[in-house]
């Protein structure tokens, strides 16, 4: 069975309104769709809330790790007064 959206879009990946971004449940034409961040569709409020909570947890973890990196950097600068200089590169994906 061809997708309703396949006639409109000619890309290899399925259209984002075809299935729930979290549980991959098919999103019917006459069903409610719960959107998040403009491009993520969900089959229920529960799936959307789970994604929001997951994103917020990742953001908190990232903020905490960047704080600890800044703290380590400032500790290195303080110890640099005694002739030891440490430099490095931080790559964030």
**Which of the two residues, 92 and 38, has the higher pLDDT score?**
38
For the full predicted model, state whether its pTM sits above 0.95: no
**Which of the two residues, 22 and 67, has the higher pLDDT score?**
22
Highest-pLDDT range among 35-39, 69-73, 83-87: 35-39
DSSP the chain: ---GGGGT---SSPPTTSB-TTT--B--TTS--EEETTTEEESSHHHHHHHHHHHHHHHHHHHHHHHHHHHHHHHHHHHGGGT----------
């Amino acid at each position: 069975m061809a997708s309703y959206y396949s006639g409109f879009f000619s890309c290899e990946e399925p259209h984002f309104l075809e299935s729930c971004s979290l549980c991959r449940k098919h999103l019917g034409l006459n069903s409610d769709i719960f959107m998040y961040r403009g491009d993520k569709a969900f089959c229920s409020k529960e799936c959307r809330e789970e994604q929001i909570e997951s994103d917020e947890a990742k953001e908190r973890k990232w903020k905490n790790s960047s704080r600890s990196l800044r703290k380590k950097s400032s500790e290195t600068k303080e110890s640099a007064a005694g002739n030891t200089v440490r430099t490095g590169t931080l790559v964030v994906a």
